[in-house]
């Protein structure tokens, strides 16, 4: 087919019949508003001709940009709004809202071949668009986001400046899949043409009071997101945790100590420690056993074996109050240990003294102070 015939032929949209299913111009494509946008196509650099159309903004039947034997032309090219690469990709010099929509490109590989037609859906995104749902106060966490909240605290999750608007929902992750919790979705258009979606809940704890795992899930079938869910592991604050009597565990220095978490089926847990003189619990590790199976260890000395925490060579500095808070989406549990470490020095004493010492937390601490 001669090139001039091609131009006049495909200029008439009605007879466009040869639609290629190839992936030379993938669809949809996303371009950033205000930037130089490129609608990517990967044809050979020696294509004979290319015609770009956008029926909704340009006169039906007129290509706004043509490439024929390396000569560029068309209203959109002459005005400086568009340009084209030799591989057929379209350059939009300054992307604005009017550039959104469906484009059609007709390609002639060689002067003799039939034209191939491609459709590309182009969506815009804002420079501030977040490609993952963002849970409040979890912005900078790459692994498990952990928060300690009161049971009626508000949790919200946002996707900023998306187009089209992306619905979000909050779910409770359990060992048996995700469960609905009551939440409210708001979609704001203050930055129109972009939309900010926000979902909030005050029911983070549902019926599992001590530890809960919430998932903020975005529904976007366009493939616009890097990740369609974000997680937050939420522990209820100390005041609302049940009172549990600690179990005292004695361990000889340099031996291996294993502290078990709850006997129930556990979907997520946190292990924490409070030093003998301390007032607050600090995190040792967090683990999520459902979904992505995530672990986060704060202290290299503590290893997680299934749900138990293990210290290989226990030393006096490991003494303290250990707490395992666990949940599975249906119930929760808190287990507390008082770990007391005694040293080899005791071996030289009589058995009754050993008994007396290891039976006495206070005494053990006194000895430690002297060691």
Ligand X SMILES: *[C@@H]1O[C@H](CO)[C@@H](O)[C@H](O)[C@H]1NC(C)=O
CB atoms within 10 A of CB 218: 22
Residue 40, interface with ligand X (CB under 6 A)?
yes
Task: Please report whether residue 186 would count as binding ligand X according to CB under 6 A.
Answer: no
For residue 180, the cross-strand partners are 171
Q: Is 200 near ligand X (CB under 6 A)?
A: no
User: Is residue 298 within 8 Å of 282, Cβ to Cβ?
Assistant: yes
Tell me which residues in 47-86 interact with ligand X (CB under 6 A).
85
Spatial separation of the C-alpha atoms in residues 149 and 155, rounded to whole Å:
9
**Judged by CB, which is closer to ligand X: 61, or 139?**
139
Whether the link from the prior residue into 28 is cis, omega within 30° of 0, is yes
For the segment 92-151, give every residue that binds ligand X (CB under 6 A).
94, 96, 137, 139-140
Phi/psi for 30 (5° steps) reads: -120, 130
Cα 91 from Cα 85, distance rounded (Å)? 7
DSSP 246: P
CB 51 within 8 A of CB 5: no
Two tokens at 15?
């007879």
Q: Does 192 bind ligand X (CB under 6 A)?
A: yes
Query: Of these, 217, 275, 301, 338, which contacts ligand X (CB under 6 A)?
Result: 217
- Intra-chain end-to-end CA distance of the chain, in Å: 95
CA 328/CA 234 separation, integer angstroms: 12
Least separation in angstroms between CB 318 and ligand X:
13
Using the rule CB under 6 A, is 89 a contact of ligand X? yes
Residue 260 binding ligand X, by CB under 6 A: yes
Q: Which is nearer to ligand X, 163 or 286 (CB)?
A: 163
Q: How far is the CB of 187 from ligand X (least distance, A)?
A: 8
User: How many residues of this chain interact with ligand X, rule: CB under 6 A?
Assistant: 27
Identify which of 186, 134, 187, 142 has the alpha carbon closest to the alpha carbon of residue 159: 134
Please state the closest distance from residue 17 (CB atom) to ligand X, in A: 25
Q: Please, which residue, 43 or 205, has the CB nearer to ligand X?
A: 43
CB of 151 to ligand X, least distance (A): 22
Q: Is 350 in the site for ligand X (CB under 6 A)?
A: no
Rounded CA separation 352/163 (Å): 76
| CB nearer to ligand X: pick between 226 and 370 | 226
Q: Which is nearer to ligand X, 258 or 349 (CB)?
A: 258
CB under 6 A: which stretch of 55-63, 88-96, 200-208, 324-332 binds ligand X? 88-96
259: contact with ligand X by CB under 6 A: yes
DSSP letter, residue 195:
E
358 binding ligand X? (CB under 6 A): yes
Exactly one of 5, 27, 57, 180 binds ligand X (CB under 6 A); which one? Answer: 180
Question: Which runs of consecutive H residues, i.e. helices, occur in 67-205?
Answer: 75-78
Smallest gap from residue 40 Cβ to ligand X (A): 4
Q: Is 219 in the site for ligand X (CB under 6 A)?
A: yes
CA 86 → CA 20, 48, 106, distances in Å?
A: 19, 10, 14
Distance CA 310, CA 58 (A): 69
Least distance CB 278 / ligand X (angstroms): 21
Residue 249 interacting with ligand X (CB under 6 A): yes
Selected from 21, 305, 351, 352, the binder of ligand X by CB under 6 A is: 305
Query: Which residue among 5, 70, 152, 189 contacts ligand X (CB under 6 A)?
Result: 189
Task: With beta carbons less than 8 A apart as the criterion, state whether 48 and 3 touch.
Answer: yes
Token look-up 């420079």 returns 127
Determine if 255 is a binding residue for ligand X (CB under 6 A): no
Q: In whole angstroms, give the CA distance from residue 204 to residue 219.
A: 21
| Interaction site with ligand X (CB under 6 A) | 34, 40-42, 85, 87, 89, 94, 96, 137, 139-140, 180, 189, 192, 217, 219, 228, 249, 258-260, 305-306, 355, 358-359
């Amino acid at each position: 087919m001669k090139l001039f015939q091609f131009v006049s032929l495909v200029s008439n949209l009605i007879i466009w019949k040869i639609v290629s299913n190839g992936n030379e111009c993938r669809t949809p494509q996303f371009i950033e508003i205000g930037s130089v946008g490129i609608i990517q196509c990967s044809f050979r650099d020696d294509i004979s001709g290319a015609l770009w159309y956008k029926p909704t903004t340009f006169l039906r039947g007129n290509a706004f940009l043509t490439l024929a034997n390396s000569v560029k032309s068309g209203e959109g090219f002459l005005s400086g709004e568009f340009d084209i690469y030799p591989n057929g990709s379209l350059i939009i010099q300054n992307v604005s809202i009017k550039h959104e929509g469906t484009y059609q490109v007709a390609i002639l590989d060689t002067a003799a071949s039939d034209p191939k037609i491609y459709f590309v859906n182009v969506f815009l995104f804002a420079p501030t668009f977040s490609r993952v749902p963002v849970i409040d106060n979890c912005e900078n966490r790459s692994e498990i986001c952990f928060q300690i909240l009161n049971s009626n605290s508000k949790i919200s999750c946002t996707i900023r400046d998306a187009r089209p608007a992306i619905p979000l929902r909050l779910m409770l992750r359990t060992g048996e899949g995700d469960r609905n919790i009551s939440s409210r979705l708001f979609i704001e258009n203050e930055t129109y043409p972009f939309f900010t979606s926000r979902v909030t809940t005050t029911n983070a704890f549902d019926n599992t009071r001590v530890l809960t795992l919430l998932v903020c899930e975005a529904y976007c079938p366009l493939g616009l997101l890097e990740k369609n869910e974000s997680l937050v592991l939420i522990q209820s604050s100390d005041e609302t945790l049940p009172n549990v009597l600690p179990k005292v565990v004695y361990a000889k220095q340099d031996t291996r100590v294993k502290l078990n978490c709850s006997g129930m089926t556990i979907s997520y847990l946190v292990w924490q420690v409070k030093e003998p003189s301390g007032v607050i619990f600090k995190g040792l590790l967090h683990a999520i056993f459902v979904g992505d199976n995530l672990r986060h260890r704060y202290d290299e000395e503590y290893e997680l074996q299934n749900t138990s925490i293990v210290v290989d060579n226990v030393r006096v500095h490991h003494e303290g109050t250990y707490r395992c808070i666990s949940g599975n989406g249906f119930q929760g549990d808190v287990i507390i240990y008082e770990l007391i470490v005694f040293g080899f020095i005791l071996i030289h004493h009589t058995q009754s003294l050993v008994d007396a010492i290891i039976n006495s937390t206070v005494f053990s601490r006194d000895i430690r102070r002297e060691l």
